[in-house]
Structure formats: structure tokens, C-alpha cells
Amino acid sequence: MNVQPKPIPAADTPLRREAGSGWHAQIPDDKAMLRAARDLTKDIAEHRADIYWADMIGSALVGYATLAGAILVDSVPLAVGLAVVSVLALYRALLFIHEISHFRNGALPGFRTAWNALVGVPMLTPSFMYEQVHTLHHKRTQYGTIEDPEYLPLALMKPWSLPAFVLIALLAPVALLFRFAVLVPLGAIIPPIRRLTWERLSALAINPDFRRRPPEGDLPRRVFWLEAGGMVWSWALIASVFAFGWKPLLVALAVASAVAVFNQLRTLVAHLWENEGEAMTVTAQFLDSVNVPPPGRIAELWAPVGLRYHALHHLMPSMPYHSLPEAHRRLVTALDAESSYHGANHAGMGVLVARIARSTMRPRG
């Protein structure tokens, strides 16, 4: 569908402010933008099974094939090249966990189960680590507050916090291996360990104050089977050292660490991180989030599966990833130059990292 609507004037267009000045509390909702996001995208809101299945399976197969190549080849340059491809492919496959967390009942039957078998359990990041967690980040009254598991005011923290935030991800694969191989079986017989593991080590959260609540609905049964699968797989990985030596496990852990760091870098620039804990309007949340739209192409590597349109995703959380580029095109065409929508569009990762880094160096009163 080719939509060419007349520009929609902005309503109460907010002015951008410097980080830490409390500009979020001063931003009213841009109702014209919110109406346009709702009205112009109704016909592209369906999840296309052909795209989801082909993309997820293809990414996983390429990732595992190149990982095997990186382990087996003797040439160091070739092994490094294969490992880089494996990182990019497995990173893309892993990020379907974000789409799964937004699936409504009945969307793409069997996809979550297949993804867990092919990606979630093998990478020790099953879907329950995002389900009933990520949606808290989208709650109108919780975004950017202490109750948001995925928010830290990084732009208002100390300069050393940024490299620490990224580099801590290097330890993620070892921590996950320990979680599933040691803490899961111990938790089965020692309830306090089980409770600690669930509350602190069962969510892809960056807020250290977040404590996960007990799972609800049909999630407890899924958690049981996914944790059992993760435990068996983690034992198999450890046992592989005795059968094949250290190289396969170390190369796999190196690739997994690179995937985790890549994802942490993307997380670093997914928002501006300028909120100081107050509740925000939808428009304020949108402007604290980031789109990195075309013409640049590199963003599709570091923010795949629709995440280069992260701000737009916050306007329409249930919109399938493959429809976000078209939704963005329609909104850019429909909304005039003064619309809030354009305030969330940024040039790339380098610009965003520099902005956040400059903010951390700004003197605080």
C-alpha cells in the first residue's frame, strides 16, 4: 500500500532539553503523532509467518555453521572471519526473543517453541528470561522509573559507568552456564537458592534494583521445561571438554561473549537514558528512545530485527518487526517537520555514544 497523506501538523511539539534538566516532565503528549501512528499502520500489523520463520531459522543455521567452521579450521584469519559471521548471525537469531515477548495469544503458533529449541536453550537464554519482564518496560507508568527492569539513567551517571556497562557483558555466557549447570539443580533442593535465582538471575534486566515476581499464567510450566533443557545442555557443554578438549567450548564462549557485548552496545544506544526516575508521557518516552533509520545501512547489523526503530517500537509495541520500516516511512511522510516524531531519529551509534558520554562528563549540581 502506497500512502501519501498530507502532512499532519504537530500538536504541543516539545522542545528538546539538555540531559538532566528535567525536560521529560515538561513534555505533553503529541496527540497528532499518536493518532497518526495508530491510524496509518492498521493494515500492516499482521505477523507474517513466512518472514519470521525464514529469518529466524536462516540466521540460526548460518550462525551455527560458521561457528562450527571457526572451531574446525586451522587458519586463524579464516577462523576469525567465520567467528565474526557467526556472531552477527546468532545475534540476529537471538534478538527474536524481543519479538516473542510481544506476541499475543495465537500469534505464530509453534514459533516460540521452535525458537527455544533452536536458539534459546542452546544459547542459554530461553524466552522466559524476557517474557513478563520486557513488557514492564513498556508500561506507561513504569518506563524510566525504579520499577523498570530495563532502564538506568546512564547519561546522568559517572563516565566510567559506560565502559563498565558494556564490558560486564563479556561475563554473561559464563554466568549463564553457571546459572543453569549449578544454580538450577541446587535450587531444586534448596528453596532459598531457587528464590534468589528466580528473582535476580532470571531476567534480561539492567536495573540492579529489579526483583522478578513469580511467573504467572502458563509461564511456570514453560519455565520448568526450559530450565530443565538448559541444565542438561549446560552439563553437555561442560562434558564436551572431556570428549573434544577445550577449544570448541572456548571458541563457543568467545562467540557468545561477543554476541552479548554487541547486544549491550545496542542497549547502550537504544535510549538516551536521560530520565531521573519520574513517570513520563508516551511522547516523552518516545523522545528518550532512539530510531536510527536509513539511509545508513550499518544499523541493520547492530540493531537487527526491527530494533533500529526502537523509538517507533515504543509507540507501537505489538507492530511486527518487518512492518516497522514501512510504518516509519508513512509517519515521516505524514507528519510535518515540527512533529515530535522527528526528534527521535538519530544518525548512528557513534553519535549516540558521544552524546551519552558527554552527558556523563557534565558537572552535576
Q: What is the distance, to the nearest Å, from the Cα of residue 42 to the centroid of all Cα atoms in its chain?
A: 24
Note whether residue 10 is domain-resident: no
Q: Is the pLDDT of residue 144 over 80?
A: yes
Alpha-carbon distance 31 to 54, whole Å?
Answer: 37
pLDDT in tens, 266-293: 999 999 999 888 889 999 999 999 999 9
Cell of residue 353, nine digits: 555514544
Q: How far apart are CA 102 and CA 255, in angstroms?
A: 27
Host H or E run for residue 47: none
Say what the pLDDT of residue 364 is: 65
Number of domains present in the structure of the chain: 1
Which residues are within 8 A (CB) of 290 and not within 5 positions of it... i.e. 6 or more apart? 269, 270, 271, 272, 310, 311, 344, 346, 352
Q: Is residue 4 a part of any domain in this protein?
A: no
Enumerate the β-bridge partners of residue 285: none
DSSP 97-143: HHHHHTPPTTSSTTHHHHHIIIIITTTT--GGGTTTTHHHHT-TTTT
3-state secondary structure 79-95: HHHHHHHHHHHHHHHHC
> Does any domain span residue 3?
no
46: number of Cβ within 10 Å: 12
> What is the rounded distance in angstroms from the CA atom of residue 251 to the CA atom of residue 145?
38
pLDDT at 5: 38
**Cα(34)–Cα(282) distance, rounded to whole angstroms?**
9
pLDDT value, residue 19:
45
**Backbone region of residue 13 per phi and psi (left: phi > 0; alpha: psi in -120 to 50; beta: other values):** beta
Rounded CA-CA distance 131/98 in Å is: 9
Of 56-65, 193-202, 272-281, the range with the lowest mean pLDDT is 272-281
- Does 11 map to a domain? no
Q: How far apart are CA 11 and CA 31, in angstroms?
A: 6
pLDDT reading at 11 higher than 60: no
Q: Summarize pLDDT for 70-111 with one digit per residue, the tens.
A: 999 999 999 999 999 999 999 999 999 999 999 987 789 999
Q: 356 in a domain, yes or no? A: yes
Containing 32, the helix (H) or strand (E) segment is helix 31-39
- The residue range of the domain holding 126 is 23-360
Q: What is the DSSP letter of 309?
A: B
Confidence grade of residue 17 (pLDDT, cut at 50, 70, 90):
very low
Residue 335, burial from CB neighbour count under 10 angstroms (0-12, 13-18, 19+)? buried
Is the pLDDT confidence value at 3 over 50? no
Judged against a pLDDT cut of 90, whether residue 21 lies above it is answered with: no
Radius of gyration of the chain from its Cα atoms, rounded to whole angstroms: 21
Q: Which amino acid is at 260?
A: A
**Does residue 101 form part of some domain?**
yes
Q: Is residue 329 part of a domain?
A: yes
Cell numbers placing 225: 521445561
Q: Is 215 helix (H, G, I), strand (E, B) or coil?
A: coil
Grid coordinates of 21: 534538566
Helix (H) or strand (E) holding 41: none
pLDDT band at 140 (very low <50, low <70, confident <90, very high): confident
Mean residue pLDDT of the chain comes to 92
- Measured distance between the N- and C-terminal CA atoms of the chain, rounded to whole angstroms: 52
Residues 204-223 have pLDDT tens digits of 999 999 999 999 999 999 99
What's at 114, amino acid-wise?
A
Residue corresponding to grid cell 513488557: 135
Give percent of the chain above pLDDT 70: 92
Could you tell me if residue 244 is inside a domain?
Answer: yes
Residues 341 and 335: beta-carbon distance below 8 Å: yes
pLDDT attached to residue 166: 94
